[in-house]
Chains A and B, each alone.
Chain A
């Protein structure tokens, strides 16, 4: 269906462009009319172009954000990997020579570099100064690498980051990465201490290498490369004295494909396969297509951001379209006599449409060019804010603003298409004028013709709507389940009008539709269980359109209010202010739609953010199982329970085993690399982590946890376990589902069953939870470096966490309270929602600017009326106030409609449906935020209208009336 719609749009655009080009060359009259009308009133032309460019700007900015994400992640492939395309990870470095021998036994096709590397995770620190103060980085890596081999890796030394690194370090020499040098303020010749394998090893910094290529490679998750390069053999010697439980140094064979930094990834599948064949049978070896994975991730993230911002921006684009229609309708009404005269002179209706359309096309083209440029500016701002959000929690993220020419062209083209379709659609409507009425500037009478055609179309709409609903329910397609009833109920209006008064005929079906669309998530839980952002877009547009129609149809009620207000003569401005919006319903509806649509989404998102923020303390309590802190330590020097319990204020510690595996589920095409965590009885000693749902065979949460502890075949997973991206869980696993756990090294497979679903957030990022004793049977490598820690009653967990980090620096301890982990995760989500709200606020600006533009035109259009009022003795301030009241009336109505819909929908979707998890979320209304939004929107609207209102009040009656002899 989407393909058909796109095809129709494309066909329309082709026809429009063909007609435009033909008219431009072969119809000098149309051309003259279009050009001269555009140039006659330059200010008006500017207003139209401004109204049209928003759509292009929004679309282009969405592309720019996506491109930037893509380019930045791709750049990470250059800085973190450089020539590295595949990595053969060897869990124990002792096996590395054997693996290297197998890999290099014969020339490896399509490659231009193979180099071994040995790595261990460490804590790196400066030497304490006289006050005992030192700088430390607990998540650093020590690498052993032959610099000469590294430089030759991939044939382009510049890409390796080692071009100027000098010879391989010897003895106590260390070459540090730029990130670590910055972090610890290190310079050449400075002493450096490394805490690894229970020892403190002194080094002297011999040089600093940039974060590029091999020199920038690290196996961690952060963007920074906290690297220390040391002499080969150092780590094995240190590991010989490692404490029990420490993870042996890892070996890696780095492989570079031919084709350069980015082109090499194209050969990755074949090369990785060959590597797997050559290393088959060696235990503890994983082959990863590192570069290809990074580039695929870049592409996915880029397009996901383009889609997200594109759809959120869609609301703004719709607001822009409404503004454009409004401007063109006003333009046409202003030129009505002129258009009627042209018809009288012999121009056919389609000629009129084409002449008007040609003029509109000029505006659309100009707007698309300017809009594309403006879109890059908007995109840049969004990228700046996104960078700030991504850089929270000690992670520094750099986004490189980038827009592909194809994206710029696409933004321009989409914006142009939106404007062209709007302009030509409006022109066709304008073309349907009665010559005499147009010349005499008389309003069109209420439509009485085409009755049968309307009824037939309505009946067709009713049937098609019903069919769409049936398809939606059968296929569990939420968009069809929304569009179908909307189409059917809208279409029912002309039919119902045959039997009941118009007001009831509109209000009843539209009221029913509003109730259905708001409650759809509750009424049809299975259909709306997995909604994408398109569903929210569709829901928003339908709700706002319907509510605006109801409001405008019942607008007469305001007449009574205005009559009562003006009864004593003091409410005259109110009467004047309300008269026009109540009389010109179509235009009012367009303006209301703009405001209501944007306010709806802003309020909905504010509610969304508030509901999630309010969860924080409860989520922390639900997940902590009576413990207070999550403690992580270095794999090469893990902290022990005894060490933790020896710390002041620590009363208990539950050890956890962390591992990585690939998970496959029946309903998921891809496999997902995810953490999983092993626990023992001690986790349940102080409480039970709360579950959001569990298999019915377990009477309590504790029973479910105990069952998992007893059976290696069972797991508990977080609700968003196998999902990708944000928003509501889009493809998670379900209770009782069998999922397969695959060891990345060797490919061992184990089937496990989901016994329960944990809470909505996984603050410690444990992933799937399983019995600790089962972990070694699942995967070759795991790390026993994580703990839940309980502090003495009355002790401040934050202080204890800070003390643990200092006391256990050698173990690279990171300690966080559950509360801070939850808040940090929620903060990221909230900040991202705020970013989207900021992006949406552009739509509000369109609404406000649109109101200003419409008022400017209204002043022009109503000059004679204003002149007459002034002639009758209406004071200037009454005229000014009337315009301000008109704007306030429209803006306030739009704000109230949008705000109310946002609140009700927020309640329905978040707290009264299972869309965001089985547990009902506590409904929280962010009154302060909503109040601020409403007041800001209203104040800005008044500000935008202040100038035209003042202009109206200054009109001289004689000039306005244009009384000429």
Chain B
């Protein structure tokens, strides 16, 4: 049995504002193993995205620990956490979040460049990745010149290009029509089939049902963990 990529124990997160405190995560514990396709589901406002943010190190936590590759993510400096994220993680978001002033290939090669890959190699790898997601012919187009589905495929290519240990996808089809959403999901499942660990946050039961493992989140807790 391989070691889990991610081990989370008792993760707590509270959002504080002048008016109120909202306990978004109330002791989340979970292990994620290499090659898993984990679906995270739950009603809106119950902590799915917060869980993704805290487990991936995008956000700080108030208590607990998150180990990735044996490193406690929240006990290291922001710089180390950032560097680790660059090497080991990829992200896909609902609203694509492409850099609007860069072309598709420039967006895709960014994770490679930030980890020190030489520019020429990064460009070749990025173009190859765009080919794999079916956008080889749109490589020089800027996001504004691409459709929503195409933008999301560029975002997926960007998340995968540095061969991360784990890819986090937060409602990756939320901004897409059903046909495009299906194509994007097919792409993600294809990636997973090739051995990529994927964590997908969704509120869509149909999508949730297509994973290997389903985490159900309610009121900041994982209330169910098992096959869909």
> Measuring CB to CB, which residues of chain A are less than 8 angstroms from any residue of chain B?
442-443, 563, 566-569, 572, 575, 579-580, 582-584, 864-865, 867-876, 878, 956-959, 961, 963-965
Q: How far is the CA of A872 from the CA of B82 in the complex (A)?
A: 8
B97 touches which one: A443, A867, A874 (CB < 8 A)?
A867
Contact, CB under 8 Å: A443 / B47: no
> B226 at interface (Cβ–Cβ under 8 A)?
no
User: What's the least CB distance linking B91 to chain A, in Å?
Assistant: 5
> B120 at interface (Cβ–Cβ under 8 A)?
yes
Contact, CB under 8 Å: A873 / B87: yes
Contact, CB under 8 Å: B97 / A875: no
User: What's the least CB distance linking B13 to chain A, in Å?
Assistant: 10
> B207 at interface (Cβ–Cβ under 8 A)?
no
Q: How far is the CA of A286 from the CA of B91 in the complex (A)?
A: 94
> B180 at interface (Cβ–Cβ under 8 A)?
no
Q: Which residues on A sit within 8 Å (CB–CB) of B46?
A: 965
Contact A873:B114 (CB < 8 A) given known A963-B49, A963-B170: yes
Contact, CB under 8 Å: A569 / B79: no
> B144 at interface (Cβ–Cβ under 8 A)?
yes
Interface string of B78-102 (1 = CB under 8 A from A): 1100111111010101110111111
Q: How far is the CA of A872 from the CA of B57 in the complex (A)?
A: 11
Q: How far is the CA of A873 from the CA of B111 in the complex (A)?
A: 7
> B50 at interface (Cβ–Cβ under 8 A)?
yes
Closest A-chain residue to B54, C-beta based? A958
Q: Which residues on B sit within 8 Å (CB–CB) of A874?
A: 82, 86, 110, 114
Contact, CB under 8 Å: B82 / A875: yes
Contact, CB under 8 Å: B111 / A965: no
Contact, CB under 8 Å: A963 / B87: no
Interface of A is mostly: helix
Q: Which residues on B sit within 8 Å (CB–CB) of A958?
A: 53, 58-59
Give me the 3 closest cross-chain CB pairs, A-B, nearest first: A873-B86, A567-B119, A958-B59
A868 touches which one: B86, B99, B116 (CB < 8 A)?
B99
Contact A868:B118 (CB < 8 A) given known A443-B144, A579-B102, A964-B49: no
> Measuring CB to CB, which residues of chain B are less than 8 angstroms from any residue of chain A?
42, 44-50, 52-53, 56, 58-60, 78-79, 82-87, 89, 91, 93-95, 97-102, 110-120, 122, 144, 158, 170
Closest A-chain residue to B96, C-beta based? A868
User: What's the least CB distance linking B169 to chain A, in Å?
Assistant: 12
Q: How far is the CA of A779 from the CA of B30 in the complex (A)?
A: 110
Q: How far is the CA of A443 from the CA of B91 in the complex (A)?
A: 24
Contact, CB under 8 Å: A572 / B95: no
**Contacts A/B (CB < 8 Å), 20 sampled:** A566-B119, A568-B118, A569-B112, A569-B114, A569-B117, A569-B122, A572-B113, A572-B114, A579-B99, A868-B98, A871-B85, A872-B111, A873-B82, A873-B85, A873-B114, A878-B114, A956-B58, A956-B60, A963-B49, A963-B94
Q: Which residues on B sit within 8 Å (CB–CB) of A867?
A: 97
Closest B-chain residue to A563, C-beta based? B119
Contact, CB under 8 Å: B93 / A961: yes
Contact A963:B114 (CB < 8 A) given known A566-B119, A874-B82, A957-B58: no
User: What's the least CB distance linking B227 to chain A, in Å?
Assistant: 24
Closest A-chain residue to B89, C-beta based? A873
Contact, CB under 8 Å: B114 / A872: yes
Q: How far is the CA of A563 from the CA of B102 in the complex (A)?
A: 12
Which of A569, A580, A964 is the most central at the interface, judged by chain B CB atoms within 10 Å of its CB? Answer: A569
Q: Which residues on B sit within 8 Å (CB–CB) of A956?
A: 58-60
Q: Which residues on A sit within 8 Å (CB–CB) of B117?
A: 569
* Other A-B pairs beyond A566-B113, A864-B95, A872-B114, 6, CB < 8 Å: A568-B119, A575-B113, A583-B101, A865-B97, A874-B86, A956-B58
Contact, CB under 8 Å: B86 / A872: yes
Closest B-chain residue to A954, C-beta based? B78
Which of A442, A864, A958, A965 is the most central at the interface, judged by chain B CB atoms within 10 Å of its CB? Answer: A965
Closest A-chain residue to B110, C-beta based? A872
